[in-house]
Amino acid sequence: MANTEHIEIEKIGEELEEARQDLHRTVSEVSKKVEMVNARLQPTQLLNDHLLLSVSIVGGLGFAFGNRSDASLSALLVSGLIGALASGILGYDN
């Protein structure tokens, strides 16, 4: 009976070690993905990746804030720019 218990303990130990290795691999993969996403979301990287969109947004915002005569046009333009920015960053324009 002691021999059976010893075999079971070894089996549980092996399973525990295998689970520990799987967890380590998973944590490594997640860390790499987090680093990659973090690098992609840096402001300078976003500007480099979406240069034309960035310039358009800045120009549109300049127009919207400078245009005091038609507030509804400015609000519509800002809403469109926010939507374009979100779709550009999230990759919906690809």
Domain ranges of the chain: 1-40, 43-94
Cα-based distances in Å from 52 to 3, 55, 75, 85, 94: 72, 5, 21, 11, 14
- Each residue of 17-65: pLDDT tens digit? 999 999 999 999 999 999 988 887 777 777 777 777 777 777 777 776 7
Element (H, E) at 4: helix 2-40
pLDDT at 15 over 70: yes
Is 61 in contact with 78 (CB distance < 8 Å)? yes
- The residue written with tokens 């240069």 in the block is 51
